[in-house]
Amino acid sequence: MSKSGQHGHGSPRRSSAEAWLDSRLKRAATGDHDAFADVYDTLARPVMGLICRVLRDEAQAEEVTQDVMVEIWRTADRYRPELGGARAWVLALAHRRAVDRVRHAQASTAREQRSALLAEDRPFDEVAETVERHEDRRHVRRCLAALERHQRVPLVLAYYQGMTYLEVAACLATPAGTVKSRMRSGLRQLRKCLEARS
């Protein structure tokens, strides 16, 4: 719909497209399915785009978008046009839902990390303990370089970045169990290499 055509008013009031959308949302609040279909068709894509930018995951964004649209249908009667347009109201709701999903995911990750820390030491502590006993950093680097890449990279992430097992596993897109076994074998070889020079 063209933005021209309804610019005759001096005040920066809503365009005809925005006014139409506002009216459709108000009708949806009364249970008008056709009005809600119009709201859905108009706003589903911008809602999805906003959520995708926050979550950076298309599959999750689709899921949250559907949740948001269902919530709009259920709570359309809470819309107050005097406080702003329908588009702004819907996008604010979508943004809130997306941020909630991010916080929930972060809380889940934090819980997993805490349980992993309770189960065993951070790999950083193990690697640091091994390295600290050897002052010559060049020798440490040579010993690290001598490891197989699949052993070296997780140890470097743990030592230089201070990552947990779960963080290393996520970074490398590798199962945590595989990362742990590679790091343990890498640590054994690193200790041997460092102690050989002592």
Name the band, by pLDDT with cuts 50, 70 and 90, for residue 10. very low
Is pLDDT larger for residue 111 or for residue 184? 184
pLDDT tens digit string along 140-163? 888 888 888 898 888 888 877 777
pLDDT tens digit string along 157-197? 887 777 777 888 888 888 888 988 998 898 888 888 888 76
Look at residue 2 in the predicted model and tell me its pLDDT: 41
- What is the DSSP annotation of 75-101? HGGG--GGGS-HHHHHHHHHHHHHHHH
Q: Is pLDDT of 47 > 90?
A: yes
| Average pLDDT over every residue of 128-139 | 69
Look at residue 35 in the predicted model and tell me its pLDDT: 92
Is pLDDT larger for residue 11 or for residue 82? 82
Residues 22, 25, 31: CA angle, nearest 5 degrees: 150
Look at residue 102 in the predicted model and tell me its pLDDT: 85
Look at residue 17 in the predicted model and tell me its pLDDT: 87
Structure tokens at 80: 């107050």
Residue listed under structure tokens 């005809």: 16
Cα separation of 36 and 27, whole Å? 8
Cα separation of 169 and 136, whole Å? 29
Look at residue 1 in the predicted model and tell me its pLDDT: 42
The answer to whether the CB of 108 falls within 8 A of the CB of 170 is no
Instruction: Record the pTM.
Output: 0.47
Name the band, by pLDDT with cuts 50, 70 and 90, for residue 65. very high
Look at residue 118 in the predicted model and tell me its pLDDT: 46
